[in-house]
């Protein structure tokens, strides 16, 4: 499996758990193309903050690296990294040491 697929799978698992914990029905069965935040995305800002923290924690547990997904780069990006599973996976990979 490519690195991106690994990260996407990890994010999909986390989205599922978040959807259960916060009872977000539309996100119970996410896939890589699922929209998360912004136009047609079901997350509100608080759920997004939770998901970002979950991803950062999971990356730290699994790969022993510390990344920050809510940084100036993400906030000012032309295309928001938070809009979908796949865009979040790209943002994670950009921030991982090669």
Partner 1 sequence: MSWVRKKLEAFSERVAAHEEGRAYSYSDFLELINQATVNLPSGEKQIVEVDCNMTLEGLATLLAIVESRHIALPLPSDLPANECRRMREVATKSCIYEKLEGSGLILFSSGTSNRPKGMLHNFEVLIDRYKNTSLRNDRCLQLLLIDHIGGLDTAFRCLFAGSTLVIPDRRTPEAVGQAIESKKVNVLPASPTFFNLLLLSKIPEKHDLSSVQILAYGAEPMPQKLLKKLAKTFPKARLQQKFGTSETGAIRIKSTKDESLYFRINDPETEWKIIDNELWLKTPSRIIGYLNPEQGKLDADGWYATGDLVEDDKQGNLRITGRTSAIINVGGQKVNPREIESVLIELEGVESVRVYSRENPITGSDIACEIVSNECKSLSTWKREMRRHCRKELSLWKIPSSLVVIDEIEINSRMKRKN
Site residues, partner 1 (CB under 8 A):
17, 21-22, 37-40, 44-50, 52-54, 57-58, 61, 70-72, 74-75, 80
Q: For the CA atoms of the chain, what is the radius of gyration?
A: 12
Q: Residue 16: what are its φ and ψ, rounded to 5°?
A: -60, -45
Q: Please, what is the minimum distance in Å from the beta carbon of residue 72 to partner 1?
A: 7
d(CA 12, CA 27): 9
Q: Please, what is the minimum distance in Å from the beta carbon of residue 32 to partner 1?
A: 21
Smaller CB distance to partner 1: residue 2 or 76?
Answer: 76
Q: Please, what is the minimum distance in Å from the beta carbon of residue 83 to partner 1?
A: 9
Smaller CB distance to partner 1: residue 50 or 86?
Answer: 50
Instruction: With beta carbons less than 8 A apart as the criterion, state whether 87 and 35 touch.
Output: no
Smaller CB distance to partner 1: residue 2 or 72?
Answer: 72
Q: Please, what is the minimum distance in Å from the beta carbon of residue 64 to partner 1?
A: 13
């Amino acid at each position: 499996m490519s690195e991106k697929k690994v990260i996407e799978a990890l994010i999909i698992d986390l989205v599922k758990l978040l959807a259960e914990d916060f009872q977000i029905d539309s996100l119970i069965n996410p896939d890589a193309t699922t929209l998360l935040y912004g136009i047609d995305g079901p997350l509100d800002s608080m759920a997004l903050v939770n998901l970002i923290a979950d991803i950062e924690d999971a990356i730290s547990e699994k790969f022993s690296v510390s990344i920050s997904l809510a940084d100036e780069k993400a906030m000012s990006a032309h295309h928001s990294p938070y809009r979908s599973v796949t865009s979040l996976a790209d943002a994670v990979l950009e921030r991982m040491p090669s």
